[in-house]
């Protein structure tokens, strides 16, 4: 098995042309990116709104119940329904739509949950110092919610990368092609190679997003050291004369 996998990967044919690994990888990335853009455009503002205002929490529950919908069945139904769209769109639109449906729940839950989890004292202080609603949202709530928002995005990306393989079922490209075609032709080296590529891509994107998160999230939240040791100059009682009396004991 390993030998046949290796020979599949080392075959120049595997890499070349429209059905080569390079092109399929780009297609796969493109589906993932398009899906995430659609999902985030819908889910992030909705999550911010629900979290900030506390209105319509049912949205999050409804979105979470979407996770139970069988993706493959939905994809086939959507393709049938949208088959009148011109050209490639007849395949691309239902695929992206179904994948986005998969990506929305984690992004929405992460965004809403992140805003909801902001320290109430910090939020109270934000209003108390005279920030307006929008300033509270963008200057305090979003920066503090960022770790959870981004972890929602990361888990959505993982799911989308893995599930985008099914786009191949309705005749699109992407790494799923290798798996579907490999299975159809009983070419297990090709199917296994495709699966391996999907896994590697998922890990690579996860690593990339972890780096992005490191850059975006304030060190005050991630607990990363920012120079200087913690609490080294604790409020040691000072030896100033108090109001009227001073202990003869020297403070420990």
Partner 1 sequence: MIRFDGVTKQFPDGTVAVDDLSLTAPTGKITVLVGPSGCGKTTSLRMVNRMIEPTRGAIVIDGQDTARMDQAQLRRGIGYVIQHAGLFPHRTVLDNIGTVPRLLGWDRARTRERSRELLERVGLDARLADRYPTQLSGGQQQRVGVARALAADPPIMLMDEPFSAVDPIVRDQLQDEFLRLQDELDKTIVFVTHDIDEAIKLGDQVAVLRVGGSLAQVAEPAYLLAHPADDFVADFVGRDRGYRSLQFQPSPRLPLRSERTVVLGERPGEAGSAWLLVVDEHRHPVGWVEPGRVGDRPVEDADLHRGGTLARADGTLRGALDAALSSPSRRGVVVDDSGALIGTVLAHEVLSAIEDTDRPERDERDPVRGGAVDVAGEQA
55 binds partner 1 (CB under 8 A): no
Q: Toward partner 1, which CB reaches closer, 86 or 228?
A: 228
CB of 140 to partner 1, least distance (A): 6
Burial class (CB in 10 A: 0-12, 13-18, 19+), 99: buried
Spatial contact of 35 and 160, defined as CB atoms under 8 Å apart: yes
How far apart, in Å, do the first and last CA atoms of the chain sit?
70
CB of 244 to partner 1, least distance (A): 3
Q: What's the rounded Cα separation, in Å, for the pair 148 and 180?
A: 35
Contact with partner 1 (CB under 8 A) among 72, 81, 88, 124: 124
CB of 138 to partner 1, least distance (A): 12
Q: What's the rounded Cα separation, in Å, for the pair 189 and 194?
A: 8
Distances (CA, A) of 4 to 8, 9, 19, 25: 6, 9, 19, 21
Crossing angle for the helix pair 176-184 and 21-53, nearest 10 degrees? Answer: 120
Contact with partner 1 (CB under 8 A) among 119, 138, 204, 214: 119
Contact with partner 1 (CB under 8 A) among 15, 81, 127, 138: 127
In the numeric block, the tokens 């403070």 are attached to 251
CB of 120 to partner 1, least distance (A): 8
233 binds partner 1 (CB under 8 A): yes
Within 54-175, residue ranges assigned H as helices are: 58-65, 71-81, 89-116, 120-128, 133-135, 142-163
Contact with partner 1 (CB under 8 A) among 144, 155, 163, 165: 144
242 binds partner 1 (CB under 8 A): yes
212 binds partner 1 (CB under 8 A): no
Of 104, 205, 97, 108, residue with least CA distance to 158: 205
Q: Toward partner 1, which CB reaches closer, 58 or 238?
A: 238
Contact with partner 1 (CB under 8 A) among 135, 187, 188, 196: 135
235 binds partner 1 (CB under 8 A): yes
Contact with partner 1 (CB under 8 A) among 130, 186, 211, 215: 130
Distance from CA of residue 195 to its chain's centroid? 21
Q: Please give the residue ranges that form the binding site for partner 1 (CB under 8 A).
A: 119, 121-122, 124-132, 135, 140, 143-144, 218-221, 223, 226-228, 230-231, 233-235, 237-238, 240-251
């Amino acid at each position: 098995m390993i030998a046949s996998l290796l020979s599949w990967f080392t075959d120049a044919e595997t890499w070349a042309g429209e059905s080569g690994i390079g092109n399929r990888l780009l297609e796969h990335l493109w589906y993932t990116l398009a899906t995430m853009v659609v999902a985030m455009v819908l889910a992030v503002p909705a999550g911010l709104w629900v979290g900030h205002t506390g209105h319509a929490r049912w949205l999050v529950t409804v979105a979470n119940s979407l996770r139970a919908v069988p993706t493959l069945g939905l994809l086939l139904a959507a393709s049938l329904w949208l088959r009148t769209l011109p050209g490639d769109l007849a395949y691309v639109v239902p695929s992206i739509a179904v994948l986005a449906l998969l990506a929305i729940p984690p992004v929405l839950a992460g965004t809403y949950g992140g805003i909801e989890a902001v320290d109430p004292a910090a939020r109270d202080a934000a209003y108390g110092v005279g920030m307006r609603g929008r300033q509270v949202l963008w200057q305090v709530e979003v920066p503090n919610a960022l770790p959870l928002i981004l972890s929602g995005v990361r888990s959505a990306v993982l799911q989308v990368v893995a599930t985008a393989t099914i786009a191949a079922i309705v005749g699109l490209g992407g790494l799923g092609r290798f798996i579907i075609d490999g299975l159809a032709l009983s070419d297990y080296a090709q199917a296994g190679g495709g699966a391996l590529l999907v896994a590697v891509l998922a890990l690579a994107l996860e690593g990339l997003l972890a780096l992005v998160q490191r850059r975006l999230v304030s060190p005050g939240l991630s607990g990363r050291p920012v120079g200087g040791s913690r609490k080294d100059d604790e409020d040691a009682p000072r030896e100033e004369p108090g109001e009227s009396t001073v202990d003869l004991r020297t403070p420990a």
